[in-house]
Chain A
Amino acid sequence: MSSQPRSVEGGPAHGRRFLTAWLVLSLILSPLVAIYLGPAIPPGNGSVEATGQVFDNEVLVTFATPICIFVVLFLLYAVFSFRSRTVEIVDGPPVRGDSRIQIAWMVVTTVAVLALAAFGSYELLVDGAGGGQGPNAAFLPAGHSQAMDVQVIGQQWEFTYRYPTLGGLETPHLMLPANTLIRLHVTSLDAIHSFWAYQLGVKADANPGTDNIVYVTTKGPRSFDIHCAELCGLWHGYMFDTGQVVEQSAFTAWAKQQQTYFAPVAKYLPAYSTTYLPDPQRRAG
């Protein structure tokens, strides 16, 4: 056994061997990821926006697969091919720069990052992608002028909902009609909350005094989970509920039932507004 460092030069064509293995693995695994893993990525198929988010995640994961394979494969290849074969501690072969590899590395990574940024930005901006856009939504889905308005009111520690088209009806649970473009107005009465309707792909901060608009187009009937996604105090972890998307006829019947049930308190509700800034009550500091 020689105690001299093993020279890489003159050895097997590591670059070609590694790139061949990477190419083969990428050609096999990337389609598998796109076909089988991609559609299973959250948040699911609960709304048009959620479906768009699944597609975005699918594209990003598929794109990231060959990059991930490159990193892991290179690590494994280096560990096995360039491991020390002697018991003595000796210097490894000298590392030399290769301008072709460096240029290729910079070009490929730059193009990859910019392409992903461009794709992500386009997808985010084309229709709002289920995110809160503030009071003056800039990225509007088609047919937005006919959208149904629903207000989400965050308070410690519960969300309530108002329907301006139903006479300002307020309810403790969120019910939405199926196959309808909804314009959610998210606001808060106290601390900062965040309205997260998981399976609908909706997430928007609820800030006091701010009308945070988010668009969502429902699909067929289903239930969806609602969580507060902003740490808002003692019961933040318990600030959850289950919303429902129902057929239009069921929604109409539900609205009528709610209007009857909540008739006693209706006279005390303030006129519908995009924000509410209730005064601190008598004891509040």
Chain B
Amino acid sequence: MKLLGVAVGVAVVGVLIGFYISSYLVGNTPAFRPKATGAAGARTVNLTIQTVAAVGPSLASNHPDWVSYLVRNNQGRWERSTVWTLPANAIVHVTIYNFDGASGLRNPFLGQPQGLVGKEIVDGKPLGALPPDQPSHTFAIPELGVLALVAPVGDAAKNQCNYAPCTMAMAHRTMTFTFRTGKKGHYRWQCFVPCAAGFVYGFGGPMQTIGYMDGFVNVV
């Protein structure tokens, strides 16, 4: 009986630890499934996301000062979700509104868009590569070979957004690009810019927590 009690106790503690770790890792972010159009095998998805220097208390009361990606949901509202479900072999048109400044890349090689359908367009102009001190963020799905750059809002820009939600009247940059999802799978996406303010090498906190600068693309 005593042994059974110990076993149950250990199991309960184990479950609680597992729950704590998993909830920390996923950051309590909801999954988002954008609307897809077109026939099966030739689906098209429009994904609109934004990057903000601080996510703000209304979207993350526990970490309001963390840098974050946000996605516009099917109701047109911005939400802090970085787990997205996309159809297989689909064309995904992405628009990124960036309200954040420059952080810079540790590896300049990651300053060139890769694996996209056509060119990445920044404020209406095609992008070849960004100098290493310029990128604000990147959007990368390494397993799919996708890498897109997020250009920064200038330090001197007026009406900068301090924390989300940001409005389109505030200083921002606009990036558009397209990629293919390919076959079904569970792919991670991440930012390669060390943009986590106050963390060692800029790669802690929001860079290591799903729901901020990392997430999953579930291709189904």
Contact = CB atoms under 8 A, between A and B. Distances in A.
A235 B112 contact: no
A190 to B, nearest CB: 5
Interface centre among A170, A191, A262, A283, by most B CB within 10 Å?
A283
B87 interface: no
A47 B83 CA distance: 40
Contacts of A160: 107, 109-110
B213 to A, nearest CB: 10
- Contact size range, B: 35 or more
Contact of A264 (B129, B194, B197, B202): B129
Given A172-B142, A269-B109, A284-B202, 13 more contacts: A158-B142, A172-B145, A190-B194, A265-B111, A268-B111, A268-B132, A269-B108, A281-B104, A281-B193, A281-B195, A283-B103, A283-B198, A284-B196
B184 interface: no
Contacts of B197: 283, 285
A233 interface: yes
Contact of B188 (A189, A190, A238, A268): A238
Contact of A155 (B102, B107, B198, B200): B107
Contacts of A267: 129
A189 B208 contact: no
A284 B107 contact: no
A157 B207 CA distance: 11
Contacts of B198: 283, 285
Interface of A: 153, 155-158, 160, 170, 172, 189-191, 233-235, 238, 241, 262, 264-265, 267-270, 278, 280-285
B199 A268 contact: no
Given A265-B108, A268-B132, A281-B106, A234 B214 contact: yes
Contacts of A262: 109, 112
Contact of B203 (A170, A233, A265): A233
Nearest to A237: B188
Contacts of B140: 158
A80 B60 CA distance: 67
Interface string B72-103: 00000000000000000000000000000011
A144 to B, nearest CB: 28
Interface of B: 25, 102-112, 114, 128-129, 131-133, 140, 142-143, 145, 188, 190, 192-203, 207-210, 214
Contacts of A170: 109
- SS class of chain B's interface: helix, strand, loop or mixed? loop
A38 to B, nearest CB: 35
A33 B52 CA distance: 61
Given A160-B109, A265-B112, A268-B111, A283 B128 contact: no
Contacts of A284: 194, 196, 199-203
Given A234-B209, A234-B210, A264-B128, A280 B142 contact: no
Nearest to A241: B142
A169 to B, nearest CB: 10
B108 A235 contact: no
Contacts of B25: 234
B201 to A, nearest CB: 5
Nearest to B100: A283
Contacts of A268: 108, 111, 129, 131-132
A235 B214 contact: yes
A172 B210 CA distance: 24
A155 to B, nearest CB: 6
Contact of A281 (B112, B188, B202): B202
Contacts of B194: 190, 280-281, 283-284
Contact of B104 (A155, A282, A285): A282
Given A190-B203, A235-B188, A238-B143, A265 B209 contact: no
Nearest to B134: A268
Contacts of B202: 280-281, 283-285
Contact of B199 (A155, A158, A265, A285): A285
Contacts of B196: 283-284
B108 A156 contact: no
Contacts of B105: 281
Contacts of B200: 284-285
Contacts of A157: 142, 190
